[in-house]
Amino acid sequence: MKLITNWVLNNKSLKNKLLSPVATFLHKTLKLSSNQITLLSFISGIVAVLNLYENHLIFALFIVLSVIFDMFDGTVSIIENKQSEALKRGVLLDDLSDRSIILFLLLKIALYKSITYLPPLILAYIILKGAHIIIKQKINHNIQITYIDRIPLILIIFHQTQIALYTLAVSLLINSIEIAIILNKHKKGQNS
């Protein structure tokens, strides 16, 4: 588990270095805050979901835009040098935005496809991602949980809905194990 956490943290630092020039442009030149970029990501995601079965090209374009905006909001937040309360609110907004897009996508798939395991998958998604958000807000906003929710989006772009849903199910299984470990560590920390 520690290996995964170290890998995520090291890659996050590398990601921020690579994205920094564009993030600086977005923040300094275009005067966009990290929360505004999160909002652009959310709006792009909603437009994508609305077009999932109506116009696949628009879906693909806007889901890619959503992912791109989502990549930059954290880096802009670092440039803004937000303090703890503002940072917590920004992290919450980003988490809610990201999770809502996936949830709306699952609901849209449920409307158009007859997949028997989809309702329990949606319920598991709501419970686990809700738990993740609560943990980040109540215990530690720096907690890293494996986040592969974007992989199903890419698979859906290439019309691989079933594989996307299986990938999401595996990610939820991984998340449930990670959440249990985090809560156990937190409980042990409170008892000592």
Angle 170-87-21 (CA atoms, 0-180°, nearest 5)?
Answer: 85
How confident is the model at residue 41, as a pLDDT?
94
pTM of the model: 0.77
Kindly tell me if the per-residue pLDDT of 188 is higher than 90: no
Q: Could you tell me which residue, 15 or 48, shows the higher pLDDT?
A: 48
80 DSSP assignment: H
* Mean of pLDDT values over 15-39: 85
CA distances from 143 to 55, 92, 137, 181 (A): 37, 13, 10, 12
* pLDDT tens string 136-145: 777 665 666 6
* Mean of pLDDT values over 18-32: 86
Most distant CA pair in the chain: distance in Å?
A: 56
Q: Any idea where the domains of the chain sit in the sequence?
A: 2-191
Most confident of 51-60, 81-90, 105-114, 147-156: 51-60
pLDDT > 90 fraction of the chain, expressed in percent and rounded = 17
Question: Any alpha helices (H) in 25-160, and if so which ranges?
Answer: 34-50, 56-80, 84-112, 118-138, 150-157
Using an 8 Å Cβ cutoff, are 61 and 67 in contact?
no
How confident is the model at residue 69, as a pLDDT?
92
Report the chain's mean pLDDT, rounded to a whole number. Answer: 80
* pLDDT tens string 28-84: 888 988 899 999 999 999 999 999 999 999 999 999 999 899 888 888 888 887 666
Fold of the domain spanning 2-191: Four Helix Bundle (Hemerythrin (Met), subunit A) (1.20.120)
Tell me how far the alpha carbon of residue 79 is from its chain's centroid: 20
**Rg of the chain taking only CA atoms, in angstroms:** 17
